[in-house]
Amino acid sequence: MKEKIERLKKLTYIPQKEIAWLIEQAEQTVKQQEIIEENKRQQEVTVHQFRQAQKDIQHLSGDRKRYKQALEKIITNLSFAITVAQNELEGDAE
C-alpha cells in the first residue's frame, strides 16, 4: 500500500482507477476509525460497570457484616430471654 501511495504522489494526473482505489482506502479508514471509537466507548462503559460492581460488592459486604452482627445480638438476647424464662419456670415449679 505504501508503494502505491508513493507512486500516486509522483503522478500529476491520477487515473480514474487510482482515484477509486484512494476513495476505497479512505472509506475503509473511516470505517476502521469508527470501529476503534466504538470499541473505546464500549471499553469505557465496561470499565465503568466493573467499577460500579466493585462498589456494590463492597457496599453489600458491609451490609452483610452489619446484618450478621445484628442477628448475633438478637440471638444472644433471645438466648438470654429463654434462659430467664426457663429459670422462672423452674422457680415456679418448686
For the chain, the C-alpha Rg in angstroms (whole number) is 37
The Cα 67–Cα 63 span in angstroms is 6
For the question of whether the overall pTM of this predicted structure is more than 0.75, the answer is no
Q: At 12, phi and psi to the nearest 5?
A: -95, -30
Domain total in the chain: 1
Q: Which helix (H) or strand (E) holds 6?
A: helix 2-10
Tell me the per-residue pLDDT of 4-36, one tens digit each, with 9 for 90 and over. Answer: 777 777 777 778 888 888 889 999 999 999 999
Tell me the per-residue pLDDT of 46-81, one tens digit each, with 9 for 90 and over. Answer: 999 999 999 999 998 888 889 999 999 999 999 999
Q: 11: domain range? A: 2-93
Q: Sign of torsion, CA 46 52 58 64?
A: negative
